[in-house]
Amino acid sequence: MSIKKAEAIAVSLPFDIGGPKPTFAGIPRRMEILFIRLENHQGLVGWGEAFGLSIWPATLQAFEHLVAPLVIDQDESDISGLMERLTRQLHILGRSGAVTYALSGLDIALWDMAGKKANQSIGEMLGGPKHTQLPAYASLMRYGCEQLVKDNSMRALNQGFKGIKLHETQVGLVHAARSVLGPHVPLMMDVNCPWSIEESLRAAEELCSAELYWLEEPIWPPEDFEALQQVRTQSGIRIAAGENNISVLHFEQMLKAQSVDFIQPSVTKIGGISAFLKVMALSDQHQVPLMPHSPYFGPGFLASLHLASLLEEEVMIEYSFADLGANPMGSAVLLDQGFLKIPQGPGLGQDPELDILREFRVRPQG
In the complex, the residues that contact Mg ion under the rule CB under 5 A are 190
DSSP state of 87: H
Nearer to Mg ion, 47 or 137 (CB): 137
Q: Cβ 155 to Mg ion, closest distance in Å?
A: 20
4 or 238: CB nearest Mg ion: 238
Identify the bridge partners of residue 139 per DSSP, sorted by sequence position.
165, 320
Q: Is the peptide bond before 328 cis (omega within 30 degrees of 0)?
A: no
Which single residue brings its beta carbon nearest to Mg ion?
190
Residue closer to Mg ion by CB (options 76, 190) is: 190
Least distance in Å: CB of 192 to Mg ion?
6
* Least distance between Mg ion and beta carbon 295 (Å): 8
Cα separations in angstroms, 267 against 48, 101, 119, 263: 10, 9, 22, 13
Q: What whole-number distance in Å separates Cα of residue 241 and Cα of residue 261?
A: 9
Closest separation in Å from C-beta 218 to Mg ion:
11
Instruction: Give which of 218, 254, 274 is closest to 104, Cα–Cα.
Output: 274
> What is the smallest separation between the CB atom of 219 and Mg ion, expressed in angstroms?
13
Looking at the Cβ atoms of 144 and 345, the one nearer to Mg ion is 144
Calpha distance 282→240 (Å, rounded) = 15
Nearer to Mg ion, 168 or 190 (CB): 190
State which residue, 33 or 126, has the beta carbon closest to Mg ion.
33
Q: H or E stretch including 232?
A: helix 225-235
Which of these, 235, 296, 297, lies nearest to 261 by C-alpha position? 235
Q: How far apart are CA 289 and CA 237, in angstroms?
A: 15
Least distance in Å: CB of 242 to Mg ion? 9
Burial class (CB in 10 A: 0-12, 13-18, 19+), 325: middle
Q: Report the greatest alpha carbon distance in the chain.
A: 60
